[in-house]
């Protein structure tokens, strides 16, 4: 993959600034087969004995499929300093993910080669257009900072790794292929609050909302997506709240104690309804909402050259899923579980 990026900043007035950016993508994705030479690694009849010959002997590549994708994406932003404590901005940016090819061997046998027929499923690039408007503000003589952003994201030709059907028989195959399935939109609000009421306390609160929905199911889509399907990995609400207290002890050592709670609302793991266990259990979400509590105690040296911390994460030892999928065909629920309760000690040394 090759890319070129350029950005230009222009000061329109003393308070109004513009940013222009562009990136050119050039990417070639390849798919091929390695053909192994015959009679180089015959199977031994003795149990446990490795076959003789060269297991990796190959006659080279065959059935090469090369695809080149190029795309120019752009970024634009305007920022206005209304006052020293109030900044507003609008932002437009684009994202791009190149296409490619998924290749599988079908159950059908080629009558000429007597080998399984191979099927290439080519998928197109996916693109994202993101629009943001927001403000960054300071209040109460910089003791309170409040940032607010509203965003809209339009997603086209979404690439989904999901179920695939035999092109000859229509039977669902026990494998997953990347394919273009739909277009979608996401909207949300992000709020960040930081308060320092005095020299000892630091308080923070962050909130994010997310509303996702499909706007189009592409013609020829083979998965079970509908306009009402849930997005995968898209909790509707997330927030974090934290507090930190700092003070000097023994006159010059600084000690700080911090506690944080991070909440995530319920969500599904997979983008494909057939791979979401909620389709069969009737539950609202595959992963219910959960909170992760963490704490840290830090001691910093008077000269600032070292600090030692004791910390704990997931203090309530919540069990939660971070990924995976449910396969009704294979009768398997494959999930990734988040980290359990952990305690640790860290030492940092700062070298000037």
Segment-wise mean pLDDT, segments of 10 residues, the chain, 352 residues: 93 97 92 63 58 60 81 97 97 95 84 82 93 98 97 94 80 81 96 97 98 90 80 94 95 94 93 75 87 97 94 97 77 85 97 80
Of 229, 254, 270, the one marking the end of a domain is 229
Query: Same domain for 70 and 174?
Result: yes
Write down which residue in 229, 263, 288 finishes a domain. Answer: 229
Query: What's the CATH code of the domain at 202?
Result: 2.40.170.20
Are 160 and 13 found together in one domain? yes
On whether both 1 and 17 belong to a single domain, the answer is yes
Q: Is residue 293 part of a domain?
A: yes
Same-domain pairing of 291 and 169 = no
Verify that 311 and 205 share a domain, yes or no.
no
Any domain includes 203? yes
Domain count, the chain: 2
Amino acid 35: pLDDT = 63
Do 116 and 171 belong together in one domain?
A: yes
- The pTM of the full predicted model, rounded to 2 decimals, is 0.83
- Residues 5, 103: one domain? yes
Residue 46 lies in a domain: no
**Is 49 a member of any domain?**
no
Q: Is residue 47 part of a domain?
A: no
| Residue 301 shares a structural domain with residue 273 | yes
Task: Judge if 246 and 187 occupy the same domain.
Answer: no
Q: Looking at 229, 255, 282, which one is the last position of a domain?
A: 229
User: Rg of the chain's alpha carbons, rounded to an integer?
Assistant: 27
Q: Residue 124: inside a domain, yes or no?
A: yes
Range of the domain at 253: 237-352
* 287 assigned to some structural domain: yes
188 part of a folded domain: yes
- For the chain, the three-class secondary structure string (H helix, E strand, C coil) is CEEEEEEEEEECCCCEEEEEEEEEEEEEEEEEEEEECCCCCCCCCCCCCCCCCCCCCEEEEEEEEEEEEEEEEEEEEEEEEEECCEEEEEEEEEEEECCEEEEEEEEEECCCCCCEEEEEEEECCEEEEEEEEEEEEEECCCCEEEEEEEEEEEEECCEEEEEEECCCCCCEEEEEEEEECEEEEEEEEEEEEEECCCCCEEEEEEEEEEEEEEEEECCCCCCCCCCCCCCECCCCEEEEEEEEEEEEECCCEEEEEEEEEEEECCEECCCCHHHCCHHHHCCCCCECCEEEEEEEEEEECCCCCEEEEEEEECCCCCCCEEEEEEECCCCEEEEEECCCCEEEEEEEECCC
Residues 127 and 165 in one domain: yes
**Same domain, yes or no, for 120 and 250?**
no
Q: Both 172 and 266 in a single domain?
A: no
């Amino acid at each position: 993959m090759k890319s070129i990026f350029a950005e230009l900043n222009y000061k329109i007035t003393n308070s109004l600034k513009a940013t222009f950016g562009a990136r050119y993508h050039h990417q070639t994705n390849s798919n091929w087969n390695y053909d192994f030479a015959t009679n180089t690694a015959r199977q031994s009849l003795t149990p446990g004995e490795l076959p003789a010959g060269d297991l990796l002997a190959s006659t080279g590549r065959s059935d090469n499929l090369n695809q080149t994708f190029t795309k120019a994406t752009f970024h634009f932003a305007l920022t206005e300093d209304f006052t020293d404590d109030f900044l507003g901005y609008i932002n437009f940016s684009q994202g791009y993910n190149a296409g490619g090819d998924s290749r599988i061997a079908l159950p059908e046998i080629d009558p000429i080669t007597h080998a399984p027929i191979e099927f290439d499923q080519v998928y197109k690039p996916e693109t994202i257009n993101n629009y943001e408007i927001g403000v960054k503000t300071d209040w109460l003589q910089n003791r309170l900072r409040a940032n607010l952003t509203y965003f809209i994201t339009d997603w086209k030709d979404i690439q989904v790794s999901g179920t695939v059907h035999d092109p000859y028989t229509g039977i669902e195959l026990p494998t997953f292929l990347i394919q273009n399935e739909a277009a979608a939109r996401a909207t949300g609000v992000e709020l960040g609050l930081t308060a320092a009421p005095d020299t000892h306390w630091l308080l923070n609160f962050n909130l994010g909302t997310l509303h996702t929905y499909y706007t189009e199911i592409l013609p020829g889509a083979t998965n079970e997506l509908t306009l009402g399907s849930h997005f995968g990995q898209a909790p509707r609400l997330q927030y974090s709240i934290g507090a930190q207290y700092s003070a000097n002890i023994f006159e010059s050592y600084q000690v700080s104690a911090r506690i944080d709670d991070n909440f995530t609302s319920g969500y599904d793991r997979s983008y494909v309804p057939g791979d979401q266990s909620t389709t069969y259990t009737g539950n609202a979400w595959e992963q219910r909402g959960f909170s992760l509590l963490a704490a840290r105690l830090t001691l910093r040296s008077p000269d600032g050259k070292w600090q030692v911390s004791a910390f704990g994460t997931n203090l309530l030892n919540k069990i939660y899923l971070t990924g995976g999928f449910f396969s009704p065909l294979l009768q398997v629920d494959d999930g990734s579980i988040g980290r359990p309760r952990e305690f640790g000690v860290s030492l940092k040394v700062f070298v000037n």
